[in-house]
Chain A
Amino acid sequence: MAALTFTLKATPPERLDLSALVPARLTGLSAAEIAALAIGSTRSGVTLGDMFDIAGDDPTEIRITGHERLDNVGRGLTGGTIAVDGDVGIYAGRAMKAGTVTVSGSVKGPYLGTAMTGGAIRVAGDAADAVGGAVPGAMHGQAGGLIVVGGSVGDYAGDRMRRGVLVVKGYVGDAAGVRMVGGTIVARALGTRAGLGMKRGTLIGKTVADLEPTFVPTGTYDFPFLALLRRYLETEAPGTGALVPQKNPRRYRGDMAALGKGEIIVD
């Protein structure tokens, strides 16, 4: 069986909802039924066949030509792989439970991996705001699994994150790990307001900008956790283990404005 491949015919004239492009929704559908799936966001009634050339027949391996107007890529994924050649929009990997989503370009919309509980998302380029962050009204953002971003991410990364690992090879913007209740965020540099209102969880960076005074220095940190995390990252995302500080990093407990059981670890 060949990978099910969706090749974009032209620039989408409107945002497209690709939440149907997951194995659980495509298995058992004929080529004609797949082409007839409604994916538009306006009255135009755009279908998958209008926008994409469709080839292949293996719904557990999906390939998509990317564009920033493609939303909900890999939403609710429960297994298999989705590979995007290019950019994606909002809600990529939202609430996914297992499987892998890879994006060769950048994530141009917010809420990458929000509410995901398992699986992995790998982005080669940058990502927008609220990576692993909660959507408005939701109790949790990322709640498991792994997100790896090769570039930098915007503001509110890991807002209300609950579990899982978010790795950013570049920089995170303002307010990373805010209102976090669990999980780990690793980045080259943490921005301002890092960890504001966090109850539990771990933020790790080479540097942190303008650390809030509600984080209390607790000395240096030499527990085995960092070595284990480094080994895990090198296995899952080669080249990212070096983001974890090597020797005696400084550790801060906080946010004392909230429960105060979170931590920020910096070189």
Chain B
Amino acid sequence: MRQIRIEDRGERLSVQTGQPETDADAAIGRAAALLAKARHPVIGGLGCDVDGVRAALRLANAIGASVDHAATAHERVELRVLADSGVMTTTVSEARHRADLIVLAGPGAVAWADHARALADGGGLYPWRGERGVLCLATGGARPAHVAADGTVSALGDDLPLHRVLGLLRARLGQKPIGPLAQDGPDRTAIDAVALQMKSAAFGVMVVDANDVDHVTLDSLQGLVKDLNRDTRFTTLGVPAHHHGRGANLVSAWTTGDHLPVGLGRGYPVQDDWLHDAERLVTSGEADALLWVGALGPDVPAWASSVPTVALVHHGASASAEVVIEVGVPGVTHPGVLTDAVRDAFAFVDAKAPQPLPSVAAVITAIEAALPGGHP
């Protein structure tokens, strides 16, 4: 017997499923009614497993919703540069074993390296690999504490914006002239030394967090890596998107033909970063209902308060919405399929601490079945 908890306008109820579940049915029914009557509903957050995203896209098709994920930097920056110019990228696993130079570009790269500790040891699969250097570019003074390095961590442009450091390195790598430099920044000798250090690596990996950059700066970073590949091997490693953003976008790609955000209001998928941006739709008043999926986070954002909201949240999350339904967390309370950031592949993850909570997919499927004309 499963138990789901439903918070309804601040009042938490505990109800049984698998039995005549009046309150759960009522919550599902009200969620369905709220979404069905909307002219332009939006499904946002989308922090859930593969089954949850698939269910959300099916529901969006039924109600004509726009679908977006909370990891907007992954969609608007990383996937844009992939489409604009192409990218060179590798997996955490390859970077760990193969890289003899780890370049941390921007403060987010340092924070991730320390938090995830994915590069905390030097690997060891390839005994021929040389000593590993670590280089920080425009990290604002941040240095990693948990990245394996042979020797000292070098740095360039602590006080400069990342786009400028990348531009200067690209120019000097191409042996081009550069204009006057600020007195308090690195001089030409320092820039040339770092360019030589990067060029001298046998296999360099540049780590960057899409939240630190826009598409222009990331395009420049990819351009630098492509330039370096004339002389050596160099690639990049993107900090994994939050809340299963990469997996959700891959599901969208194989389901709708394109990444998120995508709109299904016209009966066919329309991908548009601006038109179907969940926050823009809600704050502009174009959307009149929101389904927020936060099983893997994030919490319902403040901007959601301006529109009737159904929130699917994990245990302990705070949510203020018209209908709040507590759901399980894939990989924790129930099994699910998620992207494995280390191998960059989908993987089945078993429940660590099973609890009788419904999955996102189960709740969304129930909402779809409860739509007027739905098939329970």
Q: Does B181 contact A (CB under 8 A)?
A: yes
B168 touches A213 (CB 8 A): yes
With both chains docked as a complex, state the minimum distance between the C-beta of A85 and any C-beta of chain B, in angstroms: 22
Contact with A along B205-227 (1 / 0, CB 8 A): 00000000011110110011000
Shortest B56–chain A CB gap in Å is 17
Given A14-B286, A137-B80, A256-B177, A212:B167 Cβ within 8 A: yes
Question: Is B223 touching A137 in the complex (CB atoms < 8 A)?
Answer: no
Within 8 Å CB of B166, what residues of A?
257
CB pair A257 B167 closer than 8 Å: yes
Q: How far is the CA of A232 from the CA of B287 in the complex (A)?
A: 45
Selecting from B20-28, B267-275, B356-364, the interface stretch reads B267-275
Contact of B170 among A41, A179, A217, A257 (CB under 8 A): A257
Chain A residues near B176 (CB-CB < 8 A): 214, 256-257, 260
A87 at the interface (CB under 8 A from B): no
A40 to B270 alpha-carbon distance, docked (Å): 13
Contact A252 B179 (CB under 8 A): yes
Most buried by A among B177, B179, B219, B223: B179
Measured CB to CB, the closest approach of chain B to A154, in angstroms, equals: 12
Cβ of A156: which chain B residues have Cβ within 8 Å of it? 216
Chain A residues, Cβ within 8 Å of B223: 197, 257-258
Nearest residue, chain A, Cβ from B266: A41
Question: In the complex the two chains form, what is the Cα distance from A107 to B215 in whole Å?
Answer: 23
- Tell me if B168 and A214 are in contact (CB < 8 A): yes
- The verdict on A127 contacting chain B, using a C-beta distance below 8 Å, is no
Instruction: Give A residues with C-beta under 8 Å from B.
Output: 13-15, 40-44, 69, 71, 90, 109-111, 134, 136-138, 156, 159-160, 175, 178-179, 193, 196-197, 211-217, 252, 254-258, 260
Q: A41-B263, A156-B216 are in contact. List 18 more A-B contacts (CB 8 A).
A: A14-B40, A15-B275, A41-B266, A43-B267, A44-B39, A90-B275, A134-B84, A136-B80, A196-B163, A212-B164, A213-B180, A214-B164, A216-B178, A252-B179, A254-B179, A255-B171, A256-B170, A256-B171
